[in-house]
Structure formats: structure tokens, C-alpha cells
Amino acid sequence: MKKKGFVFIETIITIVFLAAALLVLYSSYRNAITEEKSKVYYDDISYLYRNYYLADFLINKTEISKVKETAFQEKYVVKIEELENNLYSEYQKNAEYPAELETIKKEFNVSEMVIVSEEVISKCYNAEENSKCEKSYEGLNDGLTRYIETMNLEEDEDEKEGRNRYYLVSEYRERATEDGVEACKENEEKCQVFYVTLKLDINKANTETSLGIGETCQGQI
């Protein structure tokens, strides 16, 4: 009788250990799947390609190189939407390029696009004493402001030649769904935020303008 009782207790202990091991394996498997889904849904490289496509559009289908001469007189950071009236020629407006850009932004889940002059980094450490710096950050959300303030800019030929460098900075806000990803609002929960920088050489005429290598950064969730 004692043997049967011991075997019964041993069986229960074995079952408990096996159940615990299976739960650990299941938890590890589930975490691995979740992480992999996150990589698939939020592939950093895809944001670089999106930003490259947006920058290419600005170079080839807008008057961005001409806008530069007037857009940065009062601030160092300019929203694309603020340039809209002067961004397109009459031909480009008739070709419906403004609507095309809005469609692309919607498809890419872009919540904000700004052109940043490198001067915002070199001259705006104390924005309270510089009205141009204060205006640069007006209307930007906290995440985008913090990202711009910490942009890492390396010396290149433009700096040696005394020309300002300009960057296209885009903010992407998305959340995962069963079908992939979709856009989400600024204060929405479970929202992934990515900031992407791409050098936008608008010092020259459109036909000579080039794109540089960019970088991506995940923001707050």
C-alpha cells in the first residue's frame, strides 16, 4: 500500500515538472514568434526605403531647391505642408503632384515630414535665447523634437565648402494588425514610432540634386 502511495505521489510530481517544462517551452516559443512578427512588421530597412522614395519625389516632382532660398529665413525646421503653396510649379500642380504626395504619405503611414537645416543642431542648444530656434520647434510633437535635437551629423564636403546641409526627417506611426500594419494616431496605445533621416541635397539645381545615406531610429511606444 505504501508503495502505491509513493508511486502515486511520484507520478504527480513528474506530471507537475513536465507541465512546468511545457509551459516554459510554450512561453519561449510564443515570445520568439512575437519578436519575429515585430521584426517583420517593423523592419527598419523598409523605413529607409520609404524615406528615400519620398526624398526622390521631392527632388523630381517639386521645386524644393528653389524653396530653400526663402523657407529657412525664420526657422531651421520647416514642415512640408508649410511649403505647399510654393513647393510646386503650375505645371506640377496641374499634374496633381500635391495629391500624389499625400497619397504616398498615406500609404507609407507618414505622420509628419520636415526639412531640417543642420543649423538647428549647431545653433539651437539654448533655444530660449534664439527666436529662430523657438520657431523651428513650434508645432512639432515632443518625440520629433527630441529626435531632431539628437541628430548625429558628420562632417562632409558641404561643410568644408561652407554650405548648409539639409535633411528629410520623416515620422512613421504604425501598429500591428492581423493583416500587417496600419497607421495610428499620436496618442494611440500600442503604436510603434520610427524616425528616419535622409540627407537631401537641395543646394543645387534639381537636375544635379542627390540623395545621401539615411538612418532610422525607433521612438517611444
Amino acid code (one letter) for 161: E
End-to-end CA distance of the chain: 61
CA distances from 3 to 10, 12, 18, 121 (A): 10, 14, 22, 79
3-state secondary structure of 121: helix
pLDDT tens figures, 178-211: 777 788 877 777 788 888 888 887 765 444 445 5
Confidence of residue 34 (pLDDT cuts 50, 70, 90): very low
pTM of the model: 0.69
The answer to whether 169 and 144 have CB atoms below 8 angstroms apart is yes
Residue 104, pLDDT > 90, answer: yes
Q: Name every residue whose Cβ is closer than 8 Å to that of residue 152 and which is 6 or more positions away in sequence.
A: 215
**Helices marked H in the chain:** 2-41, 44-61, 64-71, 84-87, 90-94, 97-108, 119-123, 131-137, 142-149, 157-160
